Structure 1
Amino acid sequence: MKNLSWFNKAMFFFNIVLTVLTFLAYILPFLAPKLFPILSVLTLILPFMLILNLLFFIYWGIQMKRQILLSSLVLLMGITFINKFYKFSSTDLPPSDNDFTVMSYNVRLFNLYKWIERDDVPELIANFINDKNPDILCIQEYSEGKIDLRAYKHKYVLMKGDKTLTGQAIFSKFPIVGRGDIVFPNSNNNAVYADIKRGKDTIRVYNMHLQSIKITPDVHELNEDINELSEQKSKKMIKRMSEAFKEQQEQAEIIMNHKKNSKLPEIICGDMNNSAFSFVYRSIRGKLNDAFEEAGSGFGKSYDFKYYPARIDYIFADKKMQVKNFESYPDFVNSDHFPVMARLAFEN
Structure 2
Amino acid sequence: MNGALLFCLTFFLNPEKLSDILVFIALLLNLVYLIYLVLPFTPLGRKQIVSSKLPTDSNSLKLLIANVYQENKKSDDYHKLISSCNPDVILLVETNIWWQKQMDSLEGQYPYQIKIPLENTYGMLLYSKLEFNGGTVKYLVEQDIPSIETEVKLKSGQMVKLFCLHPQPPVPQENPRSTERDKEILLVAKKAKNSKLPVVVMGDLNDVAWSYTTELFGKISGLLDPRRGRGFFNSFNAKYFFLRFPLDHIFCSPDFSLNSIQRLKSCGSDHFPMCVNLHYNPQIEKLNNVSEASEEDIQFAAEKINATT
Q: Structure 1-normalised TM-score?
A: 0.64
Q: What is the rounded CA distance, in whole Å, between the counterparts of 2:26 and 2:152 in structure 1?
A: 50
Report the 3-state secondary structure (helix = DSSP H, G, I; strand = E; otherwise coil) of the residue aligned with 1:323.
Answer: strand
Q: What is the rounded CA distance, in whole Å, between the counterparts of 2:185 and 2:36 in structure 1?
A: 26
Q: Which has the higher helix share?
A: 1
**Contact 1:211 / 1:273 at 8 angstroms: preserved in 2?**
yes
Report the 3-state secondary structure (helix = DSSP H, G, I; strand = E; otherwise coil) of the residue aligned with 2:126.
Answer: strand
* Structure 1 match to 2:261: 326
* Structure 1 match to 2:243: 308
| 2:130 alignment partner, one of 151, 160, 174 | 174
* Structure 2 match to 1:262: 195
- The structural deviation recorded for 1:285 is 2.7
Q: What is the rounded CA distance, in whole Å, between the counterparts of 2:92 and 2:24 in structure 1?
A: 43
Q: What is the rounded CA distance, in whole Å, between the counterparts of 2:93 and 2:179 in structure 1?
A: 21
Q: Which moved more, 1:140-149 or 1:201-210?
A: 140-149
1:189 aligns with 2:189: no
1:144 aligns with 2:104: no
- The structural deviation recorded for 1:165 is 8.4
Matched to 2:85, the amino acid is: K
After superposition, give the CA deviation of every residue in 1:131-168 in whole Å (9 maximum; x if it has no partner).
1000111221223211221321212222345xx68622
Matched to 1:131, the amino acid is: S
Distance 1:279 1:240, change over 3 A: farther
After superposition, give the CA deviation of every residue in 1:114-137 in whole Å (9 maximum; x if it has no partner).
x5xxx5x11111111111000111
What's the C-alpha RMSD, in Å, of the aligned pairs? 2.9
The structure with the larger Rg is: 1
**Contact 2:122 / 2:145 at 8 angstroms: preserved in 1?**
no
**Contact 2:185 / 2:205 at 8 angstroms: preserved in 1?**
no
Report the 3-state secondary structure (helix = DSSP H, G, I; strand = E; otherwise coil) of the residue aligned with 1:7.
Answer: coil
Distance 1:247 1:19, change over 3 A: farther
* Structure 2 match to 1:100: 61
* Structure 2 match to 1:156: 114
Return 5+ residue gaps in structure 2 as ranges: 1-13, 284-309
**Contact 2:122 / 2:166 at 8 angstroms: preserved in 1?**
no
| 1:122 alignment partner, one of 53, 70, 75 | 75
**Contact 2:163 / 2:188 at 8 angstroms: preserved in 1?**
no
Distance 1:181 1:134, change over 3 A: same
**Contact 1:265 / 1:318 at 8 angstroms: preserved in 2?**
yes
| 2:25 alignment partner, one of 16, 23, 42 | 16
* Structure 1 match to 2:88: 135
* Structure 2 match to 1:344: 278
- The structural deviation recorded for 1:264 is 1.3
* Structure 1 match to 2:170: 213
Report the 3-state secondary structure (helix = DSSP H, G, I; strand = E; otherwise coil) of the residue aligned with 1:146.
Answer: helix
Distance 1:252 1:99, change over 3 A: closer
Report the 3-state secondary structure (helix = DSSP H, G, I; strand = E; otherwise coil) of the residue aligned with 2:214.
Answer: helix
Q: What is the rounded CA distance, in whole Å, between the counterparts of 2:121 and 2:216 in structure 1?
A: 29
Q: Structure 2-normalised TM-score?
A: 0.71
Q: What is the rounded CA distance, in whole Å, between the counterparts of 2:193 and 2:40 in structure 1?
A: 28
Report the 3-state secondary structure (helix = DSSP H, G, I; strand = E; otherwise coil) of the residue aligned with 2:91.
Answer: strand
Matched to 1:135, the amino acid is: D
Q: What is the rounded CA distance, in whole Å, between the counterparts of 1:6 and 1:105 in structure 2?
A: 46
- The structural deviation recorded for 1:16 is 3.1
